[in-house]
């Protein structure tokens, strides 16, 4: 699978990215409507001041079996996935960045090893990014990497996206994920309800990063 992802990135993602940046390939129209009346100012930092170490679950969940392999490969996951994920997140970030204030508080709903979370944390020096993942190994790896890179405006929680802590209700300006939603447990509703209640207002930006037009 890793070889297939790297090959796809080399043959499709990076060439597409280069062609768009040089103007040789037009950018596709954005699908959906941009958020309106986004609340200002941002919510600032909070969880990163309270939790200087990862917050891990004290009990098992019904979905633990879904993340066993992610726990086992947490230390090397980033090296395998980054060549594939980077160009995808690059494009998503171009759409997201105009909406992100320096004091925004963001939730990364499936932070993995924390590569994309660190990029977002640098955009909000007066805010913070909270990363959640059900794999404890990923949470620990993301926390260690953020600290190693001198990022203190981050907090990390082991959590199931379908059963997030109530303290997250209305606590974030922006909720996003990068290449994580397809790992969410299948539910009757397409969007996990506990994530929907984390935004401070109905206009909170919900982003599922996709490199549009690259899969056809």
Summarised one tens digit per residue, pLDDT across range 119-138 is: 999 999 999 999 999 999 99
**Strand order, beta sheet including 154-158:** 154-158, 128-133, 105-109, 174-176, 205-207
- Render pLDDT for 156-176 as a digit per residue (tens, 0 to 9): 999 998 889 999 999 999 998
Sign of CA dihedral 13, 184, 187, 55: negative
Closest CA to 130 of 46, 28, 21: 46
- Residue 188 has a pLDDT of 52
Nearest to 60 by CA among 163, 195, 190, 167: 163
Question: What number of helices (H) and strands (E) belong to the chain?
Answer: 8, 5
User: What digits encode the pLDDT tens for the residues 36-94?
Assistant: 777 789 999 999 999 999 999 998 888 888 888 888 888 888 888 888 889 888 988 88
Per-residue pLDDT, 25: 87
Task: Specify the pLDDT at position 45.
Answer: 96
| Percent of the chain clearing pLDDT 90 (strictly above) | 41
Residue corresponding to tokens 């062609």: 19
Average pLDDT, the chain: 84
> Highest-confidence range of 85-99, 139-153, 187-201, by mean pLDDT?
139-153
- The CATH architecture of the domain made up of 2-6+45-207 is 3-Layer(aba) Sandwich (3.40)
Burial degree of 23 (CB within 10 A; 0-12, 13-18, 19+): exposed
Cβ count within 10 A of residue 5: 15
pTM: 0.84
* pLDDT value for 32: 76
Predicted local confidence at residue 84, as pLDDT: 87
Residue 14 confidence (pLDDT) above 60: yes
Q: At what angle do helices 77-96 and 14-21 cross, to 10 degrees?
A: 30
Q: Quick count: other Cβ atoms within 10 Å of Cβ 142?
A: 28
The pLDDT score that the predictor gives to residue 186 is 65
Does residue 205 carry a pLDDT above 90? no
CA distance 152 to 210: 28
pLDDT at 187: 61
């Amino acid at each position: 699978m890793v070889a297939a992802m790297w090959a796809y990135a080399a043959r499709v993602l990076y060439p597409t990215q280069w062609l768009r940046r040089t103007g040789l390939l037009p950018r596709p129209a954005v699908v959906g409507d941009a958020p309106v009346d986004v609340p200002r100012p941002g919510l600032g930092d909070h969880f990163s001041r309270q939790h200087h170490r990862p917050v891990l679950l004290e009990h098992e969940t019904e979905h633990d079996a879904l993340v066993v392999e992610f726990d086992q490969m947490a230390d090397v996951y980033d090296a395998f996935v980054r060549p594939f994920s980077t160009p995808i997140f690059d494009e998503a970030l171009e759409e997201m960045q105009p909406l992100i204030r320096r004091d925004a508080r963001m939730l990364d709903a499936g932070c993995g090893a924390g590569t994309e979370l660190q990029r977002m944390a640098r955009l909000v020096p007066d805010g913070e990014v909270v990363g959640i993942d059900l794999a404890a190994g990923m949470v620990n790896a993301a926390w260690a990497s953020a600290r190693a890179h001198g990022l203190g405006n981050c907090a990390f929680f082991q959590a199931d996206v379908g059963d997030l802590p109530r303290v997250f209700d209305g606590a974030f300006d922006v909720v996003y994920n990068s290449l994580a939603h397809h790992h969410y447990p299948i539910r009757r509703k397409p969007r996990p309800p506990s994530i929907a209640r984390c935004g401070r207002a109905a206009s909170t930006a919900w982003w599922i990063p996709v490199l549009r037009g690259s899969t056809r």
